[in-house]
Amino acid sequence: MIKTVITWIVMSSASFAVQNSDLFVQANDFYKADNFEAAIQHYNEILITHEHEDIYYNLGNSYFRNGEIGKSIWAFEKAYRLDPRDSDIIFNLRFLKSLVRDRIIAPEDIFFVALYKAVIKKFTLSDLILITGFFILLISLRYSVNEFSKISKSVNSVLSYALAVALIFSGWITFDKYWSISDRTYGIILSPAVDVRSAPIMRGQNVVFRIHEGTKVEIQHSELGWNEIILLDGKKGWVLSENLKAL
């Protein structure tokens, strides 16, 4: 299944909107005709000028039908970042991850940390900025109408504290989300099998472990065609940059 309708509302010009709309229709037609390479080319051409979760969704399906599991996971991860509450994206991403050979288990968080991470994953940075802005607006309105309000002082105090706590909490979550996006870079392994080495050099004896297509890694450092990566379970090493695609 692919998405067939996109409203082109964030474009630099009307001509871009028309051009990308035509490319989108053509890409969908290629997909329906099982010409997945042409569909992939067209979806990627749209993404040069405009990112949208539905384009990444269709691109992910095209990669999957073309037998490129790693690139399919990459595309659905990009779609998930733009719309983390879309049930189709979540379902497809879970299905694809079940096909990945590596079973890397992250250390378990305590309940409240796990709950916090689960909640924050459901919101984009834009969502959180809007929520924080909403609380700022509520506080501003409250103080603006305070002198005309007939609410008792005790209720007023409780309301003030509640809004202040909500603002601080939403502001903290927004900052945390921004930090996690800007300070961390992730990637998806694209090659069928990749040797992870202890140093950025090709020597047979420095292979420390092996990972496979579709595995998600955190990119910690880049150096002359190499990337230092870390897995969810804490294992670290170096891989050739050509073997992964950054998110």
- What pLDDT is attached to residue 147? 61
Q: Band of the pLDDT at 9, cuts 50, 70, 90?
A: very low
CATH code at position 229: 2.30.30.40
User: From CA 7, how far away is CA 11, in angstroms rounded?
Assistant: 10
What is the SS3 assignment for 60-127? Answer: HHHHHHCCCHHHHHHHHHHHHHHCCCCHHHHHHHHHHHHCCCCCCCCCCCCHHHHHHHHHHCCCCHHH
Give residues with Cβ within 8 angstroms of 55, minimum separation 6.
6, 24, 43, 46, 47
The 10 Å Cβ neighbour count of residue 185 is: 15
Backbone angles phi, psi at 115, to 5 degrees: -65, -45
Q: Band of the pLDDT at 148, cuts 50, 70, 90?
A: low
Cβ contact 39:23 at 8 Å:
no
Q: Is 79 part of a structural domain of the chain? A: yes
For 29-50, how does the pLDDT look when each residue is reduced to its tens digit (9 = 90+)? Answer: 999 999 999 999 999 999 998 8
Nearest to residue 163, comparing CAs of 130, 129, 140? 140
Query: Which of 48, 76, 98 is the endpoint of a domain?
Result: 98
Q: Which domain holds residue 231?
A: 185-246
Domain total in the chain = 3
Q: Is 1 part of a structural domain of the chain? A: no
For 63-97, how does the pLDDT look when each residue is reduced to its tens digit (9 = 90+)? Answer: 999 999 999 999 999 999 999 999 999 999 999 99
Q: Is 128 part of a structural domain of the chain? A: yes
How much is the average pLDDT of 124-132?
92
Quote the tokens at residue 133: 């802005």
Query: Which of 39, 71, 98 is the endpoint of a domain?
Result: 98
Q: Band of the pLDDT at 10, cuts 50, 70, 90?
A: very low
Residues 169, 236, single domain; the answer is no
- In this predicted structure, the answer to whether residue 111 has a pLDDT above a threshold of 70 is yes
Q: What is the pTM of this model?
A: 0.85
For 196-215, how does the pLDDT look when each residue is reduced to its tens digit (9 = 90+)? Answer: 999 998 877 889 999 999 99
